[in-house]
Amino acid sequence: MSEGFHRSNHLDIGAVKTVTPLVLRQYAPGVTLIVDSVKMEQKRNRIRIEFRQAGHEKDGVATSLTVEWHAPFSEIFREREAIESVIRRFVAPV
């Protein structure tokens, strides 16, 4: 297996790239970010989640998280569980 790739368990279909943030904006513990929008891009392999900070609605989007998948998502989006596990590395739902 190539460096920079890993498998989380023996049931994985293939190797996946390690998650590498391109830009990281940190908020202090306890700050509440609310999902403002979830968008799937036309190629159907990228999801962008935009967050706004609670109490600062007029400021617009505070930050976003984009997850790019190695192939287009299936029509019934069976990748949902894997995508949610990637998102939970950066966002803890309340």
pLDDT tens digits for 43-70? Answer: 888 999 999 988 888 888 888 888 888 8
Decide which of 72 and 29 is more confident.
72
**What are the start-end ranges of the E strands in the chain?**
5-6, 16-17, 33-40, 46-53, 63-68
Decide which of 29 and 14 is more confident.
29
Is it the case that residue 6 has pLDDT exceeding 80?
A: no
Predicted local confidence at residue 7, as pLDDT: 46
Predicted local confidence at residue 3, as pLDDT: 45
Q: What mean pLDDT is predicted for residues 67-80? A: 88
pTM over 0.85: no
Q: Residue 85: which of 63, 67, 70, 62 has the closest Cα?
A: 67
Read off the tokens for 16.
């996946």
Single-letter amino acid, residue 46: R
CA angle, 23 then 26 then 27, to 5°:
150
